[in-house]
Amino acid sequence: MDSPTSSGTPRIVIVGGGAGGLELAARLGQTLGQSKVTLVDSRPFHIWKPSLHEVAAGTLDIHQEGLSYLMLAHMRGFTFARGELLAVDRERRMIRIGKVVDAAGQTILPERELHYDTLVLALGSISNFFNTPGAAEYAVTLDSTDAAEAFRLTMLKNMAQVDQARASDPQAHLRLVIVGGGATGVELAVELREASHVISAYGLRNFEPERDLAITLVEGAPRILSPLSEKISRAAHARLARLGIQVETQCRVAQITPSEVHTADGRTFPADLCVWAAGIQGPPVLASLGLPLNRLGQLEVNARLETPDPHILALGDCCAAPWAEGKNVPARAQAAHQQADYLAGKILARVQGEDEGESEDSGEPYVYRDNGSLVSLGREAGVGSLMGKLSGRGLFVSGTLARWMYMSLHLMHHRAVLGFWRTAALALARLLMRRTQPRVKLH
């Protein structure tokens, strides 16, 4: 056990090394150092969650893209503790993290406790099935790198099976239904269609992507990408149609079985595979903290990202922070990034204040700035809007420009975590590697 008095310095523990938590650990570690800042994550390496649809399609290789937390901890001056958060003892200010086992089930690290003075919860979210019968059992999600990688392997296997079957059965094909026409569902549909072309070109002689892989996107709202403008929605819809992806709107899923998706209005879509991308909720561990949660199981925080416990702060998808007109800050990487920035400033000011004998936290509240939205529509295209700083109105962008801007968001995250020069070197190395390898991971 790690005792509160063992170091004598205030401990900041961040749980969750994702889009927001990792950026925060990197910022704080650089200034405060390893003895004060600890990052906890259940996984050994980091993948930026908005790229999980690329992992699922095989267009992004986790073994090349993954950034080891131990390496980042060494570079950016924080301590990394691997393990899943199991419980928080708020009275003793201790967190319990689960043991880590290897593939053979051997214990690498035991279950253990860590002391905190300030705990930042940055656990992200999990899929919300909204109690739809069969969804948890038969639909897959893109909640984690492992889930996206497992999906990739299943797709590869199924496509190879259809390729084999085609030799004797001219009807053999693969039917994929994606539930949820938000950014995740739309991006996944396009990425999979493009990936299927590359995969078939590398040895699936009988497999014709448009004919043998039927992709259906099912959305409950009247249009896909409904939180974005109608223009963006129309442009994305047109691109999906061009790629032969069937889009069904105003279509609420009522039940999922091992081979079908049933809708509330009585329609049935045959499905060999079903992906659920229709909403999020807070991770279940949050319910054990005894802190207020909203109806989606997210921690309720105030505009300073504080919970009612003065030692616990939260950021990103796992919390509901107030925004304009009674709404909450949306669950997006953009918000997690801004909140990490905000909390870095707040925590540094707090530590400095404590060093100088002040205990008041007089910082400004966090205000979400919507910089617009970009949706990737494959290798060469994207669509979205950028918020004008002066007008506050969205500027429509599409095509290659939108795709480049989308990719630059990933690079900005890398820059926040790795620094400018390492990000530049990494980007160049990856560009060169792409010249020597197929665009899709085939093994």
Ligand X SMILES: Cc1cc2nc3c(=O)[nH]c(=O)nc-3n(C[C@H](O)[C@H](O)[C@H](O)COP(=O)(O)OP(=O)(O)OC[C@H]3O[C@@H](n4cnc5c(N)ncnc54)[C@H](O)[C@@H]3O)c2cc1C
Site string for ligand X, 47-66 (x = CB under 6 A): --xx-xx-------------
Q: Which of 11, 16, 286, 383 binds ligand X (CB under 6 A)?
A: 16
- Nearer residue to ligand X within complex by CB, 32 or 374: 374
Closest approach of ligand X to the CB of residue 81, in Å: 9
User: What pairing do the DSSP bridges indicate for beta strands 79-82 and 85-89?
Assistant: unpaired
Site string for ligand X, 305-344 (x = CB under 6 A): -----------xxx------------xxxx-x--------
Q: Which of 30, 34, 35, 43 binds ligand X (CB under 6 A)?
A: 43
Looking at 251-309, which runs of residues are DSSP E strands? 253-256, 260-263, 268-270, 273-276, 280-281, 299-300
- Nearer residue to ligand X within complex by CB, 204 or 228: 228
Please tell me the count of residues contacting ligand X according to CB under 6 A: 34
- Nearer residue to ligand X within complex by CB, 254 or 289: 289
For ligand X, which residue has the nearest CB? 18
Q: Which of 12, 13, 21, 274 binds ligand X (CB under 6 A)?
A: 21
Residues 386-425 that bind ligand X (CB under 6 A): none
Helix (H, G, I), strand (E, B) or coil at 20: coil
How far apart CA 177 and CA 245 sit, in angstroms, is 10
How far apart CA 22 and CA 28 sit, in angstroms, is 10
- Nearer residue to ligand X within complex by CB, 240 or 333: 333
Torsion from C-alpha of 392, 398, 404, 408, nearest 10 degrees: 30
The two three-digit tokens of residue 318, written as one number: 């796992």
- Nearer residue to ligand X within complex by CB, 204 or 305: 305
Stretch that binds ligand X, among 25-33, 118-126, 190-198, 299-307 (CB under 6 A): 118-126
For position 85 contacting ligand X by CB under 6 A, the verdict is: yes
Is residue 38 within 8 A of residue 11, CB to CB? The reply is yes
- Sequence-distant (6+) residues with CB within 8 A of 8 are none
Question: What are the φ and ψ backbone dihedral angles of 259, each rounded to 5 degrees?
Answer: -130, 0
Number of H helices, E strands in the chain: 12, 26
Phi-psi region of 427 (alpha: psi -120 to 50; beta: other; left: phi over 0): alpha
Question: What are the φ and ψ backbone dihedral angles of 193, each rounded to 5 degrees?
Answer: -60, -45
Burial 161-183 (b: 16+ CB within 10 A, else e): ebbebbeeeeebbbbbbbbbbbb
Question: What are the φ and ψ backbone dihedral angles of 48, each rounded to 5 degrees?
Answer: -65, 120
- Nearer residue to ligand X within complex by CB, 98 or 419: 98
The dihedral of CA 396, 401, 406, 412: what is its sign?
Answer: negative
Residues 174-193 that bind ligand X (CB under 6 A): 183-184, 187
Residues 215-274 that bind ligand X (CB under 6 A): none
How far apart CA 67 and CA 18 sit, in angstroms, is 11
How far apart CA 186 and CA 372 sit, in angstroms, is 17
- Nearer residue to ligand X within complex by CB, 204 or 280: 280
Site string for ligand X, 129-148 (x = CB under 6 A): -------------x------
Q: Which of 13, 19, 312, 383 binds ligand X (CB under 6 A)?
A: 19
Closest approach of ligand X to the CB of residue 74, in Å: 18
For position 119 contacting ligand X by CB under 6 A, the verdict is: no
- Nearer residue to ligand X within complex by CB, 200 or 385: 385
- Nearer residue to ligand X within complex by CB, 213 or 319: 319
User: What pairing do the DSSP bridges indicate for beta strands 174-179 and 273-276?
Assistant: parallel
What residues make contact with ligand X under the rule CB under 6 A?
A: 15-21, 40-43, 49-50, 52-53, 84-85, 122-124, 142, 183-184, 187, 283, 285, 316-318, 331-334, 336
